[in-house]
Amino acid sequence: MTAPRRVAVVGAGLAAVSTCDALRAQGYDGELVVYSGERGLPYDRPPLSKDVLLGKARRDDVLLRPEQWYDEQRVDLRDGAPVRAVRPYEGGIELGDGSVAVADRVVLATGGTPRALPVPGGDDPAVHLLRTWEDAERLRERLLPGARVAVLGAGLIGAETAAVACALGCRVTLVDPVPVPLAAVVGDDIARALHLQHTAEGIEVITAGVERVERRSAEILVHLAGYDGVVAADTVVAGIGIRPATELAEDAGVRVDNGIVVQAGQRTSHPNVLAVGDVARRDGHRVRHEHWEAAQRDGQAAALGILGRPEPDAGAPWFWSDRHGSRLEAVGTMADAERTVRRGAPDGGALTVFGLCGDRVVAAAAVDRARDVKVARRLVDRRVVVDAERLADESVDLRVLLRSGGAT
Ligand SMILES: Cc1cc2nc3c(=O)[nH]c(=O)nc-3n(C[C@H](O)[C@H](O)[C@H](O)COP(=O)(O)OP(=O)(O)OC[C@H]3O[C@@H](n4cnc5c(N)ncnc54)[C@H](O)[C@@H]3O)c2cc1C
Nearest in space to 370 (alpha carbons), one of 352, 346, 396, 388 = 352
* Mean pLDDT along residues 144-158: 98
pLDDT band of residue 346 (cuts 50, 70, 90) is low
The pLDDT, as a whole number, for residue 403 is 81
* Mean pLDDT along residues 229-239: 96
pLDDT digits (tens, 9 = 90+) for 162-173: 999 999 999 999
The pLDDT, as a whole number, for residue 365 is 97
pLDDT digits (tens, 9 = 90+) for 262-313: 999 999 999 999 999 999 999 988 888 899 999 999 999 999 999 999 988 8
Residue 406 has pLDDT above 80, yes or no: no
Number of Cβ atoms within 10 Å of the Cβ of 325: 10
The CA 369 to ligand 1 mean position distance, Å, reads 26
CATH of 116-238, one of 3.50.50.60, 3.30.43.10, 3.90.1310.10, 3.20.20.150: 3.50.50.60
Q: Which residues line ligand 1 (CB under 6 A)?
A: 10-16, 35-38, 45-46, 48-49, 82-83, 109-112, 130-131, 157, 245, 248, 277-278, 290-292, 295, 319-321
Percent of the chain with pLDDT over 90: 86
Phi, psi of 110 (to 5 degrees): -85, 0
* Mean pLDDT along residues 42-49: 98
The pLDDT, as a whole number, for residue 407 is 47
Query: Which of ligand 1's atoms lies nearest the C-alpha of 114?
Result: 53
The CA 38 to ligand 1 mean position distance, Å, reads 11
Tell me which fold the domain 6-113+242-306 belongs to: FAD/NAD(P)-binding domain (3.50.50)
What CATH number labels 325-406?
Answer: 3.30.390.30
Query: Which of ligand 1's atoms lies nearest the C-alpha of 277?
Result: 26
The yes-or-no answer to whether 116-238 and 325-406 have a common fold is: no
pLDDT band of residue 329 (cuts 50, 70, 90) is very high
The pLDDT, as a whole number, for residue 44 is 98
The pLDDT, as a whole number, for residue 347 is 63
Report domain extents, the chain: 6-113+242-306, 116-238, 325-406
Cα distance between residue 235 and residue 132, in whole Å: 18
Residues whose CB is less than 8 angstroms from the CB of residue 153 and which lie 6 or more positions away in sequence, other chains included? 175, 176, 238, 239, 240, 241
Residue 218 has pLDDT above 90, yes or no: no
The pLDDT, as a whole number, for residue 91 is 78
The pLDDT, as a whole number, for residue 314 is 81
* Mean pLDDT along residues 198-210: 97
Cα distance between residue 147 and residue 22, in whole Å: 45
Least confident of 50-64, 133-147, 207-221, 394-408: 394-408
Looking at beta carbons, which pairs linking 340-347 to residues 24 or more positions away fall under 8 Å?
340/187, 340/188, 340/189, 341/388, 341/391, 341/392, 342/189, 342/392, 343/372, 343/391, 343/392, 343/393, 343/394, 344/369, 344/394, 346/189, 346/192, 346/193, 347/193
